[in-house]
Amino acid sequence: MNLKIFIICSYIYIGFANAEAQITKAEIVATGLTCSMCSNAINKQLKSLTEVDSVVIDLNTNTFVVHLKKEAMISPRVLKEKVEKAGFFVGSMIVTMNFDNTDISENIKVEKEGIALVIIDSKSKVLHGETKAKIMDKGYVTQKEYKKLTKSLSKIPSYLDGNEDDYHIKIN
Decide if pLDDT at 2 tops 50. Answer: no
Decide if pLDDT at 144 tops 70. Answer: yes
- Three state DSSP letters for the chain: CHHHHHHHHHHHHHHHHHCCEEEEEEEEEEECCCCHHHHHHHHHHHHCCCCEEEEEEECCCCEEEEEECCCCCCCHHHHHHHHHHCCCEEEEEEEEEEEEEEEECCCCEEEECCEEEEEECCCCEEEEEEEEEEECCECCECHHHHHHHHHHCCCCHHHHCCCCCEEEEEEC
Report domain extents, the chain: 2-171
Write out pLDDT tens, residues 55-113.
999 999 999 999 999 988 899 999 999 999 999 999 999 999 988 888 888 778 888 77
Q: Which CATH architecture has domain 2-171?
A: 2-Layer Sandwich (3.30)
